[in-house]
Amino acid sequence: MQTAKYIIVVDDNPSMLRGIGRLLREYGFASRLFETGSALLRDGGFDSAICLILDVNLSDGSGIELRHRLADRGIDIPVIYITGNDNPATRMAAMASGCVAYLTKPFTANLLIQPIERLLAGRRLAVAGPDHSSMA
């Protein structure tokens, strides 16, 4: 799947995973869905992804730790964390890992889509480059 609107989602709750997949589709985004961090690591395919939506508490470990493992492998992908178990320590660890958003379940569609749209806008600006037009 090679598209600029490709989003990877990892959540061990199958209904949440399917729901996020449907939501992304409704907003015109393609997605790859994984129930475990280890399945994501086996699959790869990070180059074409705009971001990773990552549950903090996965059945096979910490989503934050998974983010660090990806970084250790040289995979630098923007992360949006989602969690149903918010607490100050987890929030601080997520922010320290460099996420673009931290959302607590349940969250609105808009709260999830906004950071993705900001990432897309940033990519468009980076591709277009600075505006060198002159003022008359």
Q: CB of 49 within 8 A of CB of 7?
A: yes
Burial 62-100 (b: 16+ CB within 10 A, else e): bbbebbeebeeeeeeebbbbbbeeeeeebbebbeebebe
Range 28-35 average pLDDT: 96
Range 36-48 average pLDDT: 91
Angle between helices 109-128 and 14-26 (to 10 degrees): 50
The model's pLDDT over 96-131, given as tens digits with 9 standing for 90+, comes to 999 999 999 999 999 999 999 999 998 777 666 554
Is domain 6-128 given the CATH code 3.30.2350.10 in the classification?
Answer: no
Q: pLDDT value at position 133?
A: 37
Q: How far apart are CA 129 and CA 56, in angstroms?
A: 35
Q: What is the pTM (predicted TM-score) of this model?
A: 0.88
Q: How does the average pLDDT of the chain come out, rounded?
A: 89
